[in-house]
Structure 1
């Protein structure tokens, strides 16, 4: 394993969860990938090496806030991508 593979952004998982929670039948993989990129670009990075460490040191209120921010970022990203789709 490379050191590059040892670091992850915690918001990636939260954004994926938010996308899955708001997924619609007409959503294409390309559309969802664009939504994910836009949402992640609007959130601060939160890097970690081990998921267990992140979950252990993260307060419940902080995690709830991060989930709420992720859901809001995904909703806004959906609107942005829909309004700026190439035809």
Structure 2
């Protein structure tokens, strides 16, 4: 298997982790996974072999744009998942 990953995955996971830590009530794993999937499907893929190499080649402006895009997509996904929680959906 190739050793590649979507750079946005770690950005999204990091932001969700911080959101969960700051929450007065811990978010469920299912909730976080649903949000992460919705977010990553909204963001453009950015595949890398090494996240450190990608970070080293991003300008501050590019990194800020990526973080802002992830934050916006997270807010939208949270609203959507709150409207239709995982437990309320048919499998």
TM range (shorter): 0.7 to 0.9
| Equivalent residues, number | 84
Q: 1:11 Cα deviation (Å)?
A: 0.4
Structure 2: distance between partners of 1:26 and 1:18 = 14
Matched, 1:13 2:14: no
Q: 1:49 Cα deviation (Å)?
A: 0.1
Structure 2: distance between partners of 1:52 and 1:44 = 19
50-59 or 65-74, larger mean C-alpha shift: 50-59
Q: 1:8 Cα deviation (Å)?
A: 0.4
Q: Which runs of 5+ in 2 are unaligned?
A: none
Q: Which runs of 5+ in 1 are unaligned?
A: none
User: 1:61-72 to 2 correspondence within 5 Å?
Assistant: 61-72=61-72
Structure 2 match to 1:46: 46
**TM-score normalised by structure 2 residue count:** 0.84
For the aligned residues, what is the CA RMSD? 1.2
Structure 2 match to 1:57: 57
